[in-house]
Chain A
Amino acid sequence: MRIEGKTSFPVDRDSLFRAFFDQDILKKSIPGCKTLEEVGDGIHKVTMAISVGPVKGEYQGVVDVSDNVFPERIRLVGEGDGKQGFAKGDGILVFSADGTSTQISYSGDVEVGGIIVSVGQRVLKGVAKFLIGQFLKRINKNISIAKDKTGIP
């Protein structure tokens, strides 16, 4: 399954890039995130509760963001596993500055298996895009909250 898209953020490129390495922001932004723990350099263990159509489940996964070039691109390699299925993905986030705002274009391939794909394949791509959209929206929101707290304009 190929997933592609882009989103604009009213945030400068450096801050946005750093947000992807901020445990607190990540935890608040990842949809259904229950736990997030950095277990190695750029390697995170994450537990998420997600529903795909009728199939609800908890997934444990590992996300590796160690392959990155500040502040331009992050390669995201992940693997998730739950009782209802599994997913493996490999994608790239490209950050391009546009004045005071930043655009992220993302693209990647995801392989999904198990009950979630037998039952939910029609909605799977939609769900994936929705989750990514939700994630990015929350990143944006949580950056602003973080800024407010620190008083940086």
Chain B
Amino acid sequence: MGLVGKPVKRIDGPKYVSGKAQYVADLKFADMVEIAFVRSRYGHARLRHVDVSEAIKHPYTIDIVTAKDIHEAIRPVSAKVDREGFKSTEVYPLARDKVLYVGEPIAAVVAKDRYVAEDIAEMINVDYEPLTALVYAEEALKDGAPLLHEDLGTNTLVHRLFENGDIETALQDADHIIKEHFRIERHTGATMETRGYVACYEKGSGRLTLYSSGQLPHFLRMGLSEFLRIGEHRIRVIMPDVGGGYGTKGILYPEEVLCCHLSMKLGRPVRWIEDRIEHFQSATHGWEQDHYIEVGVKKDGTILGVRNTIYVNVGAYSVYPVTAGIEPLQAGGLLPGPYKFQDYFCDTYGVATNKSPTAPYRGIARPCITFVMEGMIDRIARAVNMDPAEVRLKNMIQPEDFPYRSPTRLVHDRASYTESVKKALESAGYKEWREKQKRLREEGRYIGLGIGSYSELTGLGSGTSISPGVDYLRAGNDAVRITITPTGMIVVYIGMPSQGQGLETAITQIVADEMEIPPENIAIINNDSELTPFNLGTMASRGAVIGGVATIQGLKKLKDKMLRIAAHFMDVNIEDLEYGESGVRSKHNPAMMFTLPQLAGLAYFAVHKLPPDLTPGLEVTQYYDPKFGTFANGTHLAVVEIDPEIGSVTLLDYTIVDDCGTILNPMLVDGQLKGGAAQGISGALLEKLVYDNNGQLLTGTFMDYLLITARDLPQFRIVHLVTPSERVMTGVKGVGEGATVGSPAAVINAINDALVPMGAQVNTFPTGPQEIFQKIRETKNP
């Protein structure tokens, strides 16, 4: 039938657009009670006393807990890291003697509904002794800075030096050394559905079921088992329909542990649904980084070496399971991107501050390092007076260089780095825009062109840890379980969860093609720790890469078995049979055929007639390990106009050239690209979590934390290049994060290109009218 490669509509689409999706907040259980939290109003304070004496007397209080009530039942949540330079922290689900960020939970009130619970929570009095809050990483590194975790003796949770070649010589040999400080502000996933949990403990069976709006069903089960001290086999984690994850839901949260604990204690379902202020205050943030980078280049634009110091502000705690290491390590490890240089020195710090903990956020560090590296490429171009596209083409890993080993020891498989740049220039009409730019400048208009080119390591397997030093964050253990039911329907239980990406549709297409059956006969089951094989969860753009191959390999095994069953019952040689037209038929006589339902019937109900070496049923569990992952890549090209009078930015034209290898479903891929680019552009121009110097979050609503809307975005011109992965059987490379990686660099480079004639430059992400206007004014009146 050939569904793979076609723009098949999402099988779960109708549910989402007709309001039939079931999110955690839609679940109803008899006897369910709700939690409201008392949260810290200080960034850093000692807790002198938490007085619940009035609240406990309220007639509608079902339960109130503070740290002292739970410390015996719950172990602190902690991700163990076994590596020098790395520190673990202990997160108490309710703060004990200190609070480390605004929004940290201190007490939980249980009542019949949230309204009552909040009223009771207001009766709890917390006596704080405010301490000096640290809001910037570099401030927290200074001698004598207060310590967040006194027992660690330092605020540095992660330190790693990436070193290759000889950076000193490279910089000495350079004709130009270009230095810059880049800052990436704090962002957050701002998922449309906030976090939400319902924990149901059955006292009779001793089993705990957690419904969570999350990304990691199996890790949650593992973590809950460890921190609640109950066997993993008694825990089930189900993720109903999830309204966006982006990494923000990619950890085990203290609130989840607490919901489970209270359900176990009270013997009834306990629910907590995050409100939007709680989301901004206490759901994880991402990306806050400072880079002090210098690049040595020759007159002809050749990059000789890069030296960088990165400070990542990882917030108050190192989270479970991904740790505070994942962002800094990926920042230092992936900075070289698609560029070819070997002399590299990058000192990378992950520093604790009095802000909400950070975790991966769409692209992890890549949107930041791409912004930094691509920003440097444009600065090099200006220094050596070359076109920025030429500098890219000159310094990129060339087609003949693959496989290419990066200075951080990652081996790039074949990608289309230079081709993607050329394609972007051609598709966007780069030359024409450059001419137009000149012409319009004479009319007093400021147009800018910006390129954001990136490489993205996706589909990681056992060969590269997702977060070095964390044993259990090594992939390669992804699996699918496939069952052909007695009536010949196919159910694929896939460990990889989904938060709306459309993975179910892609897998359905693969099964439909492989088995030559209509999509209606296929069901995909995921988001359930009990039904599906173990899986690390949604991270690092692995879904289609790994799930797709495992599915095909598993189906091949089932086909083999069906051939054997057919050979036995037809009494012919297996070599004379083939799978085709959704059944097994004779190569010589097409009339001799067993359909899929017939074969399934035989496998399940003619067990007494099966040969002794054939097991009954049709079921297989298939693992797939892509070992080293595969490099996807792309180039974004943005055209902007700046109004120097008010500093505003208008996007005039936007081109996305993406290469995610073989495309399973162009509609899904384009959806990822459009959404990813919108999220990246929004991050580059608007989104910024702001704390004041006392650690108070100033952006607690969507009026302060701005998201872009379709109104401010141009139509994206999407161009596909297809360089099938050499490492993955299907040729597929990941696509979930790519567009978020390339877009901030493209947009901010375009802004800087437009600012060149005024002698102004911006180096923060996001930037916006205020900063742009300021920079223009500074150059006018230095």
**A interface residues with partner B (beta carbon < 8 Å):** 83, 85-86, 111-115, 117-119, 121-122
A111 nearest CB neighbor, chain B only:
B694
Bin the interface of chain B by size: 10 to 19
A83 neighbours in B (Cβ, 8 Å): 122
Interface positions of B from 229 to 288, Cβ below 8 Å from A = 277, 280-281
Let me know if B700 and A118 touch, CB within 8 A. Answer: yes
Other 6 A-B pairs with CB < 8 A, given A86-B41, A117-B696: A83-B122, A114-B696, A117-B697, A118-B698, A118-B699, A121-B698
User: Which of B42, B122, B696 interacts with A118 by CB under 8 Å?
Assistant: B696
**Beta-carbon contacts under 8 Å, B353-394 to A:** none
Q: What is the bound-complex CA distance between A117 and B694, given in angstroms?
A: 12
Q: How many Å from the CB of A36 to the closest CB on chain B? A: 22
**In the bound complex, do residue B694 and residue A118 qualify as a contact, i.e. CB atoms below 8 Å apart?**
no
Q: Give the chain A neighbours of B692 by CB distance below 8 A.
A: 117
Which of the residues A111, A112, A113, A119 comes within 8 Å of B277, measured between beta carbons? A119
- Contact among A85, A86, A111, A117 for B698, CB-based, below 8 A: A117
A85: B residues at CB distance < 8 A: 41
- Compute how far the CA of A135 lies from the CA of B697 in the bound complex, rounded to whole angstroms: 29
B280 touches A113 (CB 8 A): no
Which listed residue (A86, A118, A122) contacts B281, Cβ 8 A?
A118
| Inter-chain contact B41/A112, CB cutoff 8 Å | no
Verify if B192 is at the interface (C-beta below 8 Å from A): no
**What residues on A are CB-neighbors of B701 within 8 Å?**
118-119
In whole angstroms, what is the CA distance A85 to B694 when docked? 14
Docked complex Cα distance between A67 and B378 (Å): 59
The answer to whether B281 and A113 have CB atoms under 8 Å apart is no
Given contacts A111-B694, A113-B41, A113-B694, contact A118 B703 (CB under 8 A): no
Contacts of A121 in B (CB 8 A): 698-699, 704
Query: CB-CB < 8 A to B700: which residues of A?
Result: 115, 117-119
**List of B residues within 8 angstroms of A111 by Cβ:** 694
Alpha-carbon gap, A85 to B122, bound state (A): 11
- 25 pairs across A/B with beta carbons < 8 Å? A83-B122, A85-B41, A86-B41, A111-B694, A112-B696, A113-B41, A113-B42, A113-B102, A113-B696, A114-B41, A114-B696, A115-B41, A117-B698, A117-B700, A118-B102, A118-B277, A118-B281, A118-B696, A118-B699, A118-B700, A118-B701, A119-B700, A121-B698, A121-B704, A122-B704
Interface residues of B (CB under 8 A from A): 41-42, 102, 122, 277, 280-281, 692, 694, 696-701, 703-704
Compute how far the CA of A118 lies from the CA of B698 in the bound complex, rounded to whole angstroms: 4
List, in ascending order, chain B residues with CB within 8 A of A118's CB: 102, 277, 280-281, 696-701
Q: Which of A85, A117, A118, A121 has the most CB of B within 10 A?
A: A118
A122 touches B280 (CB 8 A): no
Chain A residue at minimal CB-CB distance from B41: A114
Chain A residues whose CB sits within 8 angstroms of the CB of B704 once the complex forms: 121-122
Contact status A115-B277, CB under 8 Å: yes
Q: CA–CA, A121 to B694, complex, Å? A: 14
A133 → chain B, closest Cβ, in Å? 24
Per the bound structure, the CA–CA distance linking A49 and B544 in Å amounts to 56
> Which 10 pairs across A and B sit closest by C-beta, in order of nearness?
A118-B700, A114-B41, A121-B698, A83-B122, A113-B696, A117-B696, A118-B697, A119-B700, A113-B41, A119-B701
Task: Point out the residues of chain A lying under 8 angstroms from B694, CB to CB.
Answer: 111, 113
In the bound complex, residues from chain A placing their C-beta under 8 Å from that of B102 are 113, 118
Which chain B positions have C-beta within 8 A of A119? 277, 700-701
Most buried by B among A83, A113, A115: A113
What residues on A are CB-neighbors of B281 within 8 Å?
Answer: 118
Q: Could you tell me the distance in whole angstroms from the C-beta of B375 to the nearest C-beta in chain A? A: 30
Q: Which residue, B102, B277, B692, B696, has most C-beta atoms of chain A within 10 A?
A: B696
In the assembled complex, the Cα of A1 lies from the Cα of B122 at a distance in Å of 26
When chains A and B are docked, how far (Å) is the Cα of A112 from the Cα of B694?
Answer: 9
Q: Roughly how many angstroms separate A122 CA and B102 CA in the complex, as a whole number?
A: 18
* A129 CA to B64 CA, complexed, in Å: 39
Chain A residues with Cβ below 8 Å from B696 are: 112-114, 117-118
What is the bound-complex CA distance between A11 and B280, given in angstroms?
Answer: 49
Cα A117 to Cα B690 in complex, Å, equals 11
> What's the Cα separation between A18 and B210 when bound, in Å?
64
CB-CB nearest in chain A for B103: A118
CA distance A117 to B700 in the complex (A): 8
Q: Which residue of B lies closest to A57 (CB)?
A: B122
- Tell me, in angstroms, the Cα distance from A121 to B692 when the chains sit together: 10
Which of chain A's residues have a CB closer than 8 A to the CB of B280?
Answer: 118
Give A1's nearest chain B residue, CB to CB.
Answer: B692
* Bound Cα distance A136, B281 (Å): 36
Q: Please, how many angstroms separate the alpha-carbon atoms of A122 and B701 in the complex?
A: 11
- CB closest residue in chain B, given A58: B122
Neighbouring A residues of B42 by C-beta, 8 Å: 113
Residues of B within 8 A of A122 (CB): 703-704
* Distance from A42 Cβ to chain B, minimum over Cβ atoms (Å): 25
* Complex interface: chain A residues within 8 A of B698 (CB): 117-118, 121
CB of B571 to closest CB in A, whole Å? 76
Q: How far is the CA of A85 from the CA of B692 in the complex (A)?
A: 15
Contacts of B277 in A (CB 8 A): 115, 118-119
**Cα distance, A118 to B281, chains bound together (Å):** 8
| Chain B residues closer than 8 Å to A112, beta-carbon distance | 696
**Nearest Cβ in chain B — how far from A91, in angstroms?**
18
**Please, how many angstroms separate the alpha-carbon atoms of A113 and B694 in the complex?**
8
- The smallest beta-carbon distance between A127 and chain B, in angstroms, is 15
What is the chain B residue whose CB lies nearest that of A121?
B698
CA–CA, A37 to B280, complex, Å? 38
Question: Which interface residue of B41, B42, B122, B703 has the most chain A CB atoms within 10 A?
Answer: B41
The listed residue with most B CB atoms (<10 A of its CB), out of A85, A112, A114, is A114
Distance A118 CA – B279 CA, assembled complex (angstroms): 12
With the chains together, A118 CA to B689 CA distance in Å? 10
Chain B residue contacts of A117, Cβ below 8 A: 692, 696-698, 700
**Bound-complex Cα distance A131 to B303 (A):** 59
Q: Which residues of A contact B703 (CB under 8 A)?
A: 122
CA distance A13 to B455 in the complex (A): 72
- In angstroms, Cα B42 to Cα A86, docked, is 10
**Residues in B whose Cβ lies below 8 Å from that of A86:** 41
Closest to A82 in B: B122
On chain A, the residues within 8 Å of B122 by CB distance are 83
Report the bound CA distance from A83 to B36 in whole Å: 14
Smallest distance from the beta carbon of B728 to chain A beta carbons, Å? 45
- What separation, in Å, do the CA atoms of A118 and B407 have in the docked complex? 43
Can you name the residue of chain B whose Cβ is closest to the Cβ of A83? Answer: B122
Whole-angstrom distance between the alpha carbons of A119 and B701 in the complex? Answer: 6
In the assembled complex, which residues on chain B have CB atoms less than 8 Å from the CB atom of A115?
A: 41, 277, 700
Complex Cα gap A50–B331 (Å): 46
Cα distance, A121 to B689, chains bound together (Å): 13
Cα A114 to Cα B39 with chains together (Å): 9
For residue A114, which residue of chain B has the nearest CB?
B41
Residue in A closest to B700 when the chains form the complex, CB atoms: A118
Residues of the B chain whose Cβ atoms lie less than 8 Å from the Cβ of A114: 41, 696
| Nearest A residue (CB) for B128 | A86
Complex formed: what's the CA distance from A117 to B695 in Å?
11
What's the least CB distance linking A12 to chain B, in Å? 41
From residue B50, how far is it (CB to closest CB) to chain A in Å?
A: 15
Q: Which residue of B lies closest to A54 (CB)?
A: B701
Q: Quick one: closest B residue to A86, CB to CB?
A: B41
Report the minimal beta-carbon distance from A56 to chain B, rounded to whole angstroms: 12
Min CB distance B619 to A, Å, is: 52
- Least CB distance from B690 to A in Å reads 8
- Kindly provide the distance from the CB of A89 to the nearest chain B CB, expressed in whole angstroms: 14
Q: Which residue of A lies closest to B118 (CB)?
A: A83
A86 to B699, CA, bound (A): 17
- Chain B's nearest CB lies how many Å from the CB of A68? 27
The chain B residue sitting closest to A118, CB to CB, is B700
Report A138 CB to chain B, min CB distance, Å: 29
Cα separation A93 to B699 with both chains bound (whole Å): 32
Give Cα distance in the complex from A117 to B280, angstroms: 13
Residue of A nearest to B698 (CB): A121
Within the complex, the shortest CB–CB distance from B415 to chain A, in Å, comes to 43
A111→B692 CA distance, assembly (Å)? 10
A16 to B692, CA, bound (A): 36
